[in-house]
Amino acid sequence: MRKSIKTLLAFCVVVTLSFVVSCGSDDDNSYEKSFIGLQKIDNILYFLNVPEHTAEIRDGKELSGMVSIPSSVVFGGETCIVNSIGTEAFYRNANITSVVIPSSVNSIGRSVFDECSNLKSVTIGDGVEIIGSNVFSNCNSLSSVTIGNRVATIGFGAFAECPNLSSIIIPDCVETIKGAAFRNCTALKTMSLGNGIKSIEEGAFTRCTQLESITIPNSVELLGKNSFEGCTALKSISLGSGLKSIKEWAFLECTHLESIIIPDNVTELGEGIFAYCNSLNSVTIGKGITSIPERLFDFCPNLTSVSISDNVVSIGMEAFANCESLNSITIPDNVSDVGIYAFAGCSSLTTIVLGKNISRIDETTFAGCKLIKDVYCYAAIVPDVPTVGYFIENRDATLHVPAALLDLYKNSIFGHNFKNIVAIEE
């Protein structure tokens, strides 16, 4: 009897242990399959979501040399696709020299490779759609970048302050280049802009001081504020047929720019776009522009030729101020208003043609233009001028008016600015 009881108890213990072991094994497997959290694999810290089979790199600062980011990792027998690189994951890692990002990655967070001082080469796979802000900024050694064929947005400051980046090809898939994206890339000399770009935003290429020429694709509709400010080596610009708006100071201090043609499709110009372009000598303003904004060509000392569309109705304050080489200007018939100091400091100006609708000239409009010899005015109604002082500083200048209006001008305050008033020869 006792032997039977002992045998029965032993059997029960074995069954119980077998049950415990079996349950323990199922629990371990269940834990791994449901795991969501941080896990280090091959010196990379990941955030794993095993149920979703995804992995995000959270920290790769232990890596060095040539880094090829894996497209997937295995945890507990489960494969997780590496689809994201998290914010600052490689921040200030001075030990990596190159990075290849696989096509499995579709998201690159903010400042991921910021200040990786020895990073020289980057290849971005075809899965990435957005290059986040400051992703590769301050990478002092970066000289080679390959952008994948699905990137739609290059984020704010994405490649800013990369002084050794000498060339860049932006593929057709890119639609938006955010502000400061390539700011202070002082070695950037050649650049190819894809045919899908719609907007180049504020300061995107500010102070790229080696950039020599730019072709803006026909797809681009907007050039943002200061977008190419301080590109001092820039000699030529070709503006595309889709461009509608150029914002303030877009080409400020492009000191080697020699000529510009603003096409008819451009309908909006911001303040000071070409101010301080010291080498600019020829300008054509297209038919889409109705208002020339303030300081558009302020301090362009070599500007000698200006062609203004007949559709322009107003010329803003200091629009052509300090254009010291400009010797003649024709203000089209539709212009009624010319801003204060619009041509002030144009010290070589000798001939002015005022169109049929000019209604007022301020005493400062031509301040400092002491060489003016001839003014041709076609306005049927004598323009208003200051009752005190003179808007023409050279008292020996000659006013030319239509013969039928000769007496009207001679008896006007406008006419009192001139020593001689003569009829325009037909």
Q: Is residue 270 part of a domain?
A: yes
pLDDT greater than 60 at residue 351: yes
Q: Is residue 235 part of a domain?
A: no
Which pairing describes strands 328-331 and 351-354: parallel, antiparallel, or unpaired?
parallel
Specify the 3-state DSSP secondary structure of 380: coil
Alpha helices by DSSP H, 219-371: none
pLDDT greater than 90 at residue 32: no
Half-sphere exposure of 356 (CA within 13 A, CB side): 3
Q: Is residue 287 part of a domain?
A: yes
What pLDDT is recorded for position 28?
53
Choose between 15 and 292: higher pLDDT: 292
Q: Is residue 422 part of a domain?
A: yes
Which pairing describes strands 222-223 and 199-200: parallel, antiparallel, or unpaired?
parallel
Choose between 30 and 50: higher pLDDT: 50
Which pairing describes strands 305-307 and 282-285: parallel, antiparallel, or unpaired?
parallel
pLDDT greater than 70 at residue 334: yes
pLDDT (average), residues 149-161? 97
Give the span between the Cα atoms of 308 and 292, in whole angstroms. Answer: 9
274-280-284-289 Cα dihedral, nearest 10 degrees: 10
Q: Is residue 247 part of a domain?
A: no
What pLDDT is recorded for position 396?
92
Specify the 3-state DSSP secondary structure of 287: coil
pLDDT (average), residues 127-136? 97
pLDDT greater than 60 at residue 77: yes
pLDDT, averaged across the chain: 92
**Rounded to 5 degrees, what angle do the CA atoms 345, 253, 165 make?**
170
CATH code: domain of residue 319: 3.80.10.10
356-358-361-367 Cα dihedral, nearest 10 degrees: -70
pTM for the model stands at 0.89
Contact call for residues 87 and 108 (beta carbons, < 8 A): no
Confidence of residue 8 (pLDDT cuts 50, 70, 90): very low
Q: Is residue 102 part of a domain?
A: no
pLDDT greater than 50 at residue 1: no
Q: pLDDT for 284-332, tens place per residue?
A: 999 999 999 999 999 999 999 999 999 999 999 999 999 999 999 999 9
For the chain, the domain total comes to 1
Q: Which domain holds residue 383?
A: 258-426
Half-sphere exposure of 37 (CA within 13 A, CB side): 6
Choose between 1 and 411: higher pLDDT: 411
How many other C-beta atoms are found inside a 10 Å radius of the C-beta of residue 235? 15
Q: Is residue 316 part of a domain?
A: yes
Q: Is residue 150 part of a domain?
A: no
What pLDDT is recorded for position 425?
82
The H or E element spanning position 29 is helix 2-33
What pLDDT is recorded for position 379?
96
Give the span between the Cα atoms of 319 and 306, in whole angstroms. Answer: 12
Q: pLDDT for 172-205, tens place per residue?
A: 999 999 999 999 999 999 999 999 999 999 999 9
Confidence of residue 256 (pLDDT cuts 50, 70, 90): very high
pLDDT greater than 60 at residue 371: yes
Distances (CA, A) of 326 to 286, 314, 393: 19, 19, 17
What pLDDT is recorded for position 29?
60
- Among 97, 90, 100, 89, smallest CA distance to 128 is for 100
Dmax (CA) for the chain in angstroms is: 146
Choose between 23 and 385: higher pLDDT: 385
Choose between 6 and 55: higher pLDDT: 55
